[in-house]
């Protein structure tokens, strides 16, 4: 098993450009796995990657999501300088934008633990541990992925981190969107993750001040490595 993970911070990058890059890395890992199956006497270790980035304003709809959860038309999106993509991850609609930490782990789970439910749990746990360091209690909401605050109180439940992944042959892509200093007004144009009765929040909203993204990224990376068992290089 190769637990080494190459970390790349892509900075601010167009969504489609980052998506294409993910697809390239994802396909490369799968190609190695398929070749290993054909040639059991010549095994090549599969690489792993962890990408962090920020996107310009963009809405993405998962493959099982409903376009009815996009509450704006294309002109309104253009006026907000936002783009829109239908993509191949799970989950419904979400928003990405400045002030948000977007993480794309592209991992061969055969190098770690080939269990998708555990993998999603681990992503959630890394964010829960991160925000706990700032005094916020992150929790899970039954039947929904992501990290929530006050999930047991329907009128107060709000999401601070969305999670949506794709996997094939135990290789993952897409990942999480963690609201740190995010402009939450952009969530008004969607039913986030398909919910009509729940809000989104951010660290800045909850704690009353903006945060150094570089510092928060470091904490997220540390907890991901510790929980999943990555050796980040």
pLDDT for residue 197: 66
Question: Does pLDDT of 192 surpass 90?
Answer: no
How confident is the model over 91-96, as a mean pLDDT? 88
Q: Measured on CA atoms in the order 131, 137, 172, 179, is the torsion positive or negative?
A: negative
Mean pLDDT taken over the chain: 93
Cβ contact 102:176 at 8 Å = yes
Read off the pLDDT of residues 115-134 as tens digits, 9 standing for 90 and up: 999 999 999 999 999 999 99
The DSSP output letter for 4 is E
Is there a catalytic annotation at residue 53?
no
pLDDT for residue 209: 97
pLDDT for residue 64: 80
User: Based on the structure, what is the number of domains in the chain?
Assistant: 1
How confident is the model over 95-105, as a mean pLDDT? 97
| 212 — pLDDT class (breaks 50, 70, 90) | very high
Alpha-carbon distances, residue 67 vs 14, 61, 91, 131, 192 (angstroms): 22, 7, 12, 31, 12
Closest CA to 161 of 143, 175, 142, 171: 175
| 222 — pLDDT class (breaks 50, 70, 90) | very high
Read off the pLDDT of residues 20-75 as tens digits, 9 standing for 90 and up: 999 999 999 999 999 999 999 999 999 999 999 999 999 998 888 888 888 888 88
Which stretch of DSSP H or E encloses residue 18? helix 15-38
The CATH number given to whatever domain includes residue 40 is: 3.30.930.10
Q: Which two tokens stand for residue 61?
A: 């709809």
3-state secondary structure 86-112: ECCCCCCEEEECCCEEEEEEECEHHHC
Question: What domain range is 171 assigned to?
Answer: 4-232
Active-site choice (190, 193, 228, 230)? 193
Alpha-carbon distances, residue 118 vs 109, 121, 122, 124, 228 (angstroms): 10, 5, 6, 10, 9
pLDDT for residue 216: 98
Q: Which two tokens stand for residue 224?
A: 């991901």
The DSSP output letter for 47 is P
């Amino acid at each position: 098993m190769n637990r080494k993970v190459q970390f790349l911070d892509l900075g601010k990058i167009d969504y489609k450009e980052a998506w294409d890059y993910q697809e390239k890395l994802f396909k490369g890992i799968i190609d190695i796995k398929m070749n290993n199956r054909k040639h059991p006497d010549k095994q090549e270790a599969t690489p792993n990657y962890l990408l962090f980035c920020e996107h310009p304003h963009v809405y993405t709809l998962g493959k099982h999501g409903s376009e009815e959860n996009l509450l704006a038309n294309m002109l309104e999106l253009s006026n907000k300088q936002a783009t829109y993509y239908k993509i191949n991850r799970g989950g419904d609609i979400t928003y990405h934008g400045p002030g948000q930490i977007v993480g794309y782990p592209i991992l061969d789970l055969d190098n770690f633990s080939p269990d998708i439910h555990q993998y999603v749990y681990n992503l959630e746990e890394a964010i829960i541990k991160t925000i706990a360091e700032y005094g916020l209690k992150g929790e899970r909401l039954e039947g929904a992925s992501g990290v929530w605050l006050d999930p047991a109180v329907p009128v107060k439940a709000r999401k601070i981190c969305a999670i949506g992944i794709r996997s094939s042959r135990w290789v993952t892509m897409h990942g999480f969107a963690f609201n740190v200093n995010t402009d939450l007004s952009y969530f008004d144009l969607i039913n986030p993750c398909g919910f009509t009765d729940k809000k989104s929040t951010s660290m800045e909203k909850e704690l009353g001040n903006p945060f150094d993204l570089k510092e928060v990224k470091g904490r997220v990376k540390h907890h991901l490595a510790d929980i999943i068992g990555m050796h980040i290089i």
